[in-house]
Amino acid sequence: MDTTYDCLVLFSGGLDSLLAAKILQQQGLRVLGLHFTSPFFGSPEKTAQWREAYGLDILPVDIGETYTRMLLGGCRWGFGKGLNPCVDCKILMLGQARAMLPSFGADFLVSGEVIGQRPMSQRKDTLGLIRKEAGVSDLLLRPLSAGRLPPTPMEASGRVDRTRLLSIRGRGRKSQLQLAEELGIEEVPTPAGGCLLTDPESVRRFWPLFKHLHPPGTEDFELSKVGRQFWWQGHWLVIGRNQADNEAMLQRVCAGDIVFKLVDVPGPLAIGRQYRSPWAGEVVESAARFMLGFSPKARRSRGPVTVRVGSQERMEELRLSPEAGAEQPWEEPTWEAFDAEKREWITAS
C-alpha cells in the first residue's frame, strides 16, 4: 500500500463507490479506499479480496465506538424506519475521512453517492447539507453525479477532468452497469447497503441494548446477533437455536457472563450477560428453568435435570424440573415495542 495518495474514497464495497474510485484512478490519481466498519455495517474480512479483484488500495477503519456514541446522542438529523441515521452516518464518515487526509498526504475526498438514489440521504438538498455539516464543502467530489452538481475546486483547478465525470441520477443501475463493463470490471458487486440498523429483525435485537446498557459495546452487539434474545427486568439472556449458535455464542463469552449448559440431556447453550451487577440467585434459577423449555428431551424428562451454571469466578450445578419453564417471565424484544418506544427515546435525546 502506498504511503501517500491524491484522494480518499469512502469505499462501501458496493458498485457505486467502486466506480467512483476507478473513474479517478483512470485519470492517473492515486486512490485509497476507506472501508468504514462498525457492529452494524462493513466487511473488513473482504478487503484483501477487493484489493486483488479491483486493483485498489483499501483500508478498513473501525468507527464502532464513535458510531455508537452518535446513536446514543439521538442523532441530529433523524432516523429512518429503523435505527438508521443515514444523514448523520454520512456526516460522521466524511468527518472521519477528512481528519485522515493529512496522514496520507491526500487533498480531497470522494464518495459514490448518486442524486436521488436514496430517499433520506441522497436528495440534492441533503447532499449539500451533508457537505456543509461534515466540513467538506471544498473537499468532497461525487464523480457519479458531478455533472448535476456545482464544480468543485478539484475540477475548477483542473486537478480532476470534469468532462470525464458522470451525471447519473435516480435509483436505476443501468448507467453504473454500463460503466462497469466499459471499465472491464468483471466482478460486479451488488448494491452496497446491508446496514443492520435498517433491518427489523436486527433492530429489535439491538434496541434493548440501547435502553439498558450505558453504553453498549461491540461485544454486546455481536452477542445480540446470535441465538434467541430474551429480557426480564433489565436482565439479558441469550439461548442458542442450534449447534452453530452454541458455537458462535461460546466465542462471544465475556468476563462476568453466566454460561448455562445442560448436563443430563442435549439442549441449547445459554448466556446471561451481567452488565450492571451480579444476578440474584432467583434470576439465575429462572433463566436456567426457562432454558430447559428449549430442550425437547428435558421437557419429556420425568425428573429433575442438571444445569451447569458458571462464570470465570464460580461454577455450580442446579437440579431443576422443566415444568415451570413456560411460565417464566422472560420475553423476546419485538419490533412493535421498539416502534412505540422509539419516538419517546428520540424526543428525550
Q: What is the total residue count of the chain?
A: 349
Q: Are strands 140-141 and 108-110 parallel, antiparallel or unpaired?
A: parallel
C-alpha dist (Å) from residue 17 to 112, 180, 188, 283, 308: 4, 12, 12, 49, 50
* Residue 276: per-residue pLDDT: 85
Asked whether the whole model's pTM tops 0.85, one would answer yes
Closest of 337, 345, 301, 331 to residue 319, by C-alpha: 301
* Residue 208: per-residue pLDDT: 95
Q: What is the pLDDT of residues 185-196, one digit of tens each?
A: 988 887 655 799
C-alpha dist (Å) from residue 85 to 32, 91, 197, 207, 232: 26, 10, 8, 14, 28
How far is it, in rounded angstroms, from Cα 94 to Cα 134?
6
279, 272 Cβ separation under 8 angstroms: yes
How far is it, in rounded angstroms, from Cα 192 to Cα 16?
8
* Residue 325: per-residue pLDDT: 44
Q: For residue 82, how many other CB atoms are within 10 A of its CB?
A: 21
Q: What is the DSSP letter of 281?
A: H
216, 209 Cβ separation under 8 angstroms: yes
Task: Give the domains, in start order, of the chain with CATH numbers.
Answer: 7-196 (3.40.50.620), 201-336 (no CATH)
DSSP helix/strand/coil, 96: helix
Q: What is the pLDDT of residues 87-104, one digit of tens each?
A: 999 999 999 999 999 999
Helix (H) or strand (E) holding 271: strand 269-273
Instruction: Look up cell 476507478; give the residue.
Output: 22
* Residue 347: per-residue pLDDT: 64
24, 180 Cβ separation under 8 angstroms: no
Q: What is the mean pLDDT of the chain?
A: 91
Residue 78 makes CB contacts below 8 A (sequence gap 6+) with 85, 87, 346
* Residue 120: per-residue pLDDT: 65
Cell of 25: 484512478
- Counting as low any pLDDT under 50, the low residues of the chain are 325
Task: Based on DSSP, count helices (H) and strands (E) in the chain, helices before strands.
Answer: 13, 11
60, 32 Cβ separation under 8 angstroms: no
198, 81 Cβ separation under 8 angstroms: yes
